[in-house]
Structure 1
Amino acid sequence: MKEEKNQPNGISRRKFIQGAAIGTVGIASAGFLAGCSSEGANQDASEPKTEQTANWTTPPEPIPESEIKNTIETDIVVVGAGSGGMVAALSAAEAGAKTVLLEKGSKSYAGPMWMAAIDSKLQKSMGVNIDKHEAVAEICRYGGHLADQKLVKLWADKSGEAMDWLTDIVESAGLKMMVETDLKVGYYKSYAVGHVVVPDPTPEIAHLGEYGSPLYIPVLTEKAKQLGIDIKYDTPAVQLIQEAGKVIGVIAGSPDSYTRYNVSKGVILATGGYGRNEEMLNDLCPTAQYCGSSIVPAVASGDGIKMAVWAGGALDPLHGVMVFDRGVMHKDTGTLGAPWSGGYLRTGSQPFLRVNVRGNRFVNEDLPYDYLWDASIMEPENVSWQIWDSNWKEDITRFHTTICSRVVPHPQAPPRDGLDYVEQEHASFIDKGLILKADTIEQLAEQMGVPVNNFKATIDRYNVLAKQGNDEDFGKIDFRLSTIEKGPFFAAKLSGTLLCNINGLRIDTNMQVLDENHNPITGLYAVGNDSGSFFSYNYPQMFGGLALGRTITFGRVAGISVANA
């Protein structure tokens, strides 16, 4: 059985997890942690046995009864009070279920903006008509069909209804829902699915925190209180309670003062995934180590997925991460991987010239965000340099990028930062050494540390292509070419920015967690980044807000499903 040592960690790990129910000591004695080589099997009994190191897959010891100070009876517990958890809790309560909402932070996480949906009443009123089967096919294609097409179709069928529900709530609070209909032109088709909550009236300029979930989370929180949902902040869930394989509750709180929550219907996991858990990223998704920065919230430490795995839940066979090509790094001290300490350059996704560390162009720069990151990984040192000149404002305006890479406001899109704001941000990055600035191309090459002659030749060639309006080398659309002639000149060393994991627990169309045999675990459900079965390999960037749209939609499906269980 030596071959198993050479397989990906996920395969041997999941074989190991199948024995989780026998407990930590039983697993160790079963030999899974020691490996299956013939040498191990024939090891002399007199040799000292080495103690195996526990990792995130190892079930913890049961919490002693002496540390459980309170017991609460309820119908449903939702773990995590972000978008998915809040929607699930509200939907369950509206369906008549007594609901407790646990959140380990002092408040709900609010960050994402766009929410993808099809056939919302707002889209219908605007004449937006999207072929559901085409959308499902395209989403599955992005993931190489390593997805449950039934779930993707479920999103397409139910997302409009879920968005209508949310629209009614936010509009009653004096806010407004809009759909981004100004779409990107290019080789990759874009879809008018992105819904965003904005102020009413809507400003032309706005920044992070002034639209999207930071606006609707407080509204949902207030509605949850009105419905009698018991929200417990600063209360991390730590262990699920099982009886004969059925999840019957969850233990939450802190050592010496835990509370047992017994449920009559089920537990819904919505803890935000494992994007901030270095051990889990290394184990499940090592490509995350090619990112130079991260904007994953600290609360996304894998709590829900770990608890489910300890309870016998199965994971997607391959894992990926959502990545934007905006991870700016210091040219000398910047590193890839943990602790992902680089910055976030919002113009990193603009289709300016990209070169590798040898000063050579290597790709059509007009790609979906993670595709350009992928292309950069293939180059020496797994990074690239983005190059622009002092005409950058005119260039960005002409590039006409959309969704979250959009800088210039447009009436058919939510508010954006604007060029003046970006100029201030660039100045700050120049001061920090994250953007290089030089009066000549030769000086810029020297600062970057790339071969001057190669770099100069690349710039000269790119200028020829831009002036003739025909990218003979890589086929970039003509209006996204830009000359680099007017000094001063600028460069930023870019990698990926990590946003979240896109794979997680296997689920069915009721959001119920599946075991290794694809059978549902009674009483256990998952949504958002705790769940899987939907994405793989790459995030479909051209469906603006698909991750949050799935989270909202499936949060609603889960809440109703469990309430009616």
Structure 2
Amino acid sequence: MEVTRRDLFKLGSIAAVGAIGGSALAGCAPQATSAEASNQSSANDQTPEFLRQPDPITEFSETKEFDVVVIGAGESGLAAVHTALEAGAKVACVQNIGTAQTTGNMGASVDTTKTDEAGVEACVAYLLEKNAYRSNRKLLEAWAKNSYEAITWWADTAARGGAESKPFDSSKEYNGYTFYLHANTYNHLEGAHNDAALAIAEKLASDGAEFFYNSPAVQFYKEGDRVAGAVCETEGGYTLFKASKGVILASGDCSGNEEMRNYYCPDLRGFKTMSTFRDGMGMCAGMWAGAQMTPINHSKMVHGGGALTRLQVPFLNLDIHGERFMNEVLSFAYLNNLMRDYLAEYDYQNSMAAKFFTVMPANWFETAQKWAEEDPSEVQLGVGNMTVPDESKFVSGNTLEELAANINAYMEKEEWGIDPIDEATIVASIEHYNEVCALGADTEFGKRAKYLVPIEEGPFYAVPRGANSVPAVLGGLIVDENQQCLDAERQPIEGLFAVGNASGQFYGGVDYPMDVEGLSVGRAITSGYVTGRHVASL
């Protein structure tokens, strides 16, 4: 009997479960005293571990006092530090790792120097629709009205530190109104957006903000019902950072915490983690202090693959079995929703199962360029300032048979861990697609006839595509229009604020809406920018 790679993944998974069962269960064998026995039933319930509130930490090796304490040195945290400091507050920023850290490339704003009030509100209405009407409209408005100021500050400050943005401007029309978008982009820099963050953190430190790295916040300190500080695990023990005006939680999402990720966004099972340091523990501390989490299912962001993934051209798509599986007119941001069955084949242990190939003829560029001119919302040769990928990045072959062989060779070279595809199936799928194109009507998936271009002229190309990495899970703690966390009665929790992806109800759909490029980074910067100023004024 032939054993395939997916069989090995399943066997490995079963073996791992067996190992855990043998050691962990033995370690958890009943050893409770009679006094503890009455608590066993509650201890054995199905409540996730991260929701179990620990005993409060009451002994501190040191206490430090500030006006504002910001938890997290990413986009939202750095922006909050800036405006709080600018407003005259004494500010501390605590970070769980040893440096300021962001991901991404683009930070979007509404250019309010060009967009009138109706256009701003049209942008808000547009995002409400894209977010399945689950967003807090006031949060969308706060981004739309303040983002240009915030993004401009970010770009100017980073540029003075040596990380200069290449602006990307665009516009959209919705309900008869036009709104203009402006984004900072940093894809041309080695560290992308993180280069800008490092420059800004250095400037803020020189301006008087105090940064405490490798100091993860593990609990909030309360005085009565008020959150009055954060307890951080530091080298010398637990340090209490007291905040007379407020604590701003800017610790990011929970994409690096598999238990939290699976609980709040089960759609992400099998996709790989992009940022393990985003462990969600800041949000856990917020929930232990009474804050409420955005209802399940949280919006998911799935990226990965760079410029190849962003090449959105509706030629023929073949899955990891060499077969056509979709109507190819679909934004890459939503393709991940078609990949669950493939991930399941590998027992959710190999995110490369979410990959596929776009097969194209020799004249692909001329054809795609014409399509993109006719409808840029459906066909994209690159996003923002990303350039069209070089054909040297593609798999190629002078014949269909050679292309099929080279697809398998590519997967093996790149160590996808995917079973080789039957090459005759690849060839047959392409030939069958050409027959569909000849009919002039897609009887299989309903793709518009204008996109039914046959794969007849060589050399032939296959573009490896498919997003399989998770940069963020977009839920977070429920906040009001001031980014202040709300309790179970929807009342503000005094002293506790959340910004960026630690805060929720900005998004709401199944997927992160890629329709406004750079929205996540732009929203993070803007929410921190507005909230730092607000908290410093209290």
**TM-score class, shorter:** 0.7 to 0.9
Q: 1:32-58: CA deviations, max 9, x gaps? A: x958xxxxxxxxxxxxx9688870011
Hey, what does 2:524 align to over in structure 1? 551
Hey, what does 1:287 align to over in structure 2? 267
- Within the candidate set 323, 326, 329, 1:363 is matched to 326
Tell me how far apart the structure 2 counterparts of residues 480 and 260 of structure 1 sit (CA, whole Å).
64
- Within the candidate set 434, 443, 456, 2:416 is matched to 434
Tell me how far apart the structure 2 counterparts of residues 494 and 311 of structure 1 sit (CA, whole Å).
40
Does residue 1:252 correspond to 2:224, yes or no?
Answer: no
Structure 1 residue 111: deviation in Å?
Answer: 2.2
Structure 1 residue 165: deviation in Å?
Answer: 2.6
Contact residue 65 and residue 241 of structure 2 kept, 8 A? yes
Tell me how far apart the structure 2 counterparts of residues 246 and 29 of structure 1 sit (CA, whole Å).
35
Taking the TM superposition and a 5 Å limit, the aligned residue runs for 1:146-545 are: 146-173=134-161, 176-181=164-169, 193-198=181-186, 207=188, 209=190, 211=192, 213-254=193-234, 257-291=237-271, 293-295=272-274, 297-324=275-302, 326=304, 344=305, 346-350=307-311, 351=313, 352-356=315-319, 359-377=322-340, 381=345, 383=354, 385-389=356-360, 391=362, 394=365, 398=369, 413-414=384-385, 416=387, 418-419=389-390, 422=393, 431-434=413-416, 447-449=420-422, 452=424, 456-464=427-435, 473-476=445-448, 478=450, 483=455, 485-486=457-458, 490=462, 492=464, 494=466, 496-536=468-508, 537-545=510-518
Contact residue 166 and residue 185 of structure 2 kept, 8 A? yes
CA distance 1:465–1:245, shift in 2 (3 Å) = same
Structure 1 residue 235: deviation in Å?
Answer: 1.2
Hey, what does 2:107 align to over in structure 1? 115
Deviating more after overlay: 352-361 vs 532-541: 352-361
Structure 1 residue 280: deviation in Å?
Answer: 0.4
SS of equivalent residue, structure 1 residue 86 = helix
CA distance 1:484–1:324, shift in 2 (3 Å) = farther
CA distance 1:96–1:396, shift in 2 (3 Å) = farther
* AA partner of residue 97 (structure 1): A
Contact residue 98 and residue 214 of structure 2 kept, 8 A? yes
Tell me how far apart the structure 2 counterparts of residues 210 and 289 of structure 1 sit (CA, whole Å).
28
TM-score, scaled relative to structure 1: 0.72
Tell me how far apart the structure 2 counterparts of residues 29 and 146 of structure 1 sit (CA, whole Å).
44
* AA partner of residue 284 (structure 1): Y
* AA partner of residue 240 (structure 1): F
Tell me how far apart the structure 2 counterparts of residues 151 and 476 of structure 1 sit (CA, whole Å).
37
CA distance 1:368–1:227, shift in 2 (3 Å) = same
* AA partner of residue 414 (structure 2): K
TM-score, scaled relative to structure 2: 0.76
CA distance 1:173–1:383, shift in 2 (3 Å) = closer
Tell me how far apart the structure 2 counterparts of residues 518 and 433 of structure 1 sit (CA, whole Å).
50
Taking the TM superposition and a 5 Å limit, the aligned residue runs for 1:58-97 are: 58-65=52-59, 68-97=60-89
Q: Name structure 2 gaps, 5 residues minimum.
A: 1-35, 346-352, 396-406
SS of equivalent residue, structure 2 residue 482 = coil
SS of equivalent residue, structure 1 residue 559 = helix
* AA partner of residue 353 (structure 1): L
Contact residue 274 and residue 500 of structure 1 kept, 8 A? yes
Q: 1:8-36: CA deviations, max 9, x gaps? A: xxxxxxxxxxxxxxxxxxxx9999x958x
Contact residue 319 and residue 356 of structure 2 kept, 8 A? yes
* AA partner of residue 385 (structure 2): P
Structure 1 residue 96: deviation in Å?
Answer: 0.6
Q: 1:115-151: CA deviations, max 9, x gaps? A: 1111255xx3xx8998222221221122211121111
Q: 1:202-250: CA deviations, max 9, x gaps? A: xxxx656354x23321231122122200011111111100122110111
Hey, what does 1:139 align to over in structure 2? 127
Contact residue 322 and residue 429 of structure 2 kept, 8 A? yes
CA distance 1:143–1:50, shift in 2 (3 Å) = closer
Deviating more after overlay: 220-229 vs 171-180: 171-180
Deviating more after overlay: 389-398 vs 129-138: 389-398
Hey, what does 2:535 align to over in structure 1? 562
Tell me how far apart the structure 2 counterparts of residues 510 and 421 of structure 1 sit (CA, whole Å).
50
CA distance 1:314–1:386, shift in 2 (3 Å) = same
Contact residue 288 and residue 321 of structure 1 kept, 8 A? no
Structure 1 residue 406: deviation in Å?
Answer: 6.8
Q: 1:101-120: CA deviations, max 9, x gaps? A: 11111111132111111125
Q: 1:281-323: CA deviations, max 9, x gaps? A: 12111111042x332x121000211110110110111233433
Q: How many residues align?
A: 473
Contact residue 182 and residue 402 of structure 1 kept, 8 A? no
Does residue 1:56 correspond to 2:50, yes or no?
Answer: yes
Tell me how far apart the structure 2 counterparts of residues 469 and 194 of structure 1 sit (CA, whole Å).
40
CA distance 1:466–1:255, shift in 2 (3 Å) = same
Tell me how far apart the structure 2 counterparts of residues 511 and 372 of structure 1 sit (CA, whole Å).
32
* AA partner of residue 365 (structure 1): E
Hey, what does 2:9 align to over in structure 1? none
Q: Name structure 1 gaps, 5 residues minimum.
A: 1-27, 36-48, 199-205, 327-343, 437-445
* AA partner of residue 77 (structure 2): G
Query: What is the CA RMSD across the aligned residues, in angstroms?
Result: 4.0
Tell me how far apart the structure 2 counterparts of residues 484 and 104 of structure 1 sit (CA, whole Å).
55
Tell me how far apart the structure 2 counterparts of residues 294 and 50 of structure 1 sit (CA, whole Å).
29
Tell me how far apart the structure 1 counterparts of residues 97 and 475 of structure 2 sit (CA, whole Å).
23
CA distance 1:236–1:501, shift in 2 (3 Å) = same
Structure 1 residue 561: deviation in Å?
Answer: 1.0
Contact residue 294 and residue 504 of structure 2 kept, 8 A? yes
Contact residue 504 and residue 529 of structure 1 kept, 8 A? yes
Tell me how far apart the structure 2 counterparts of residues 220 and 539 of structure 1 sit (CA, whole Å).
27
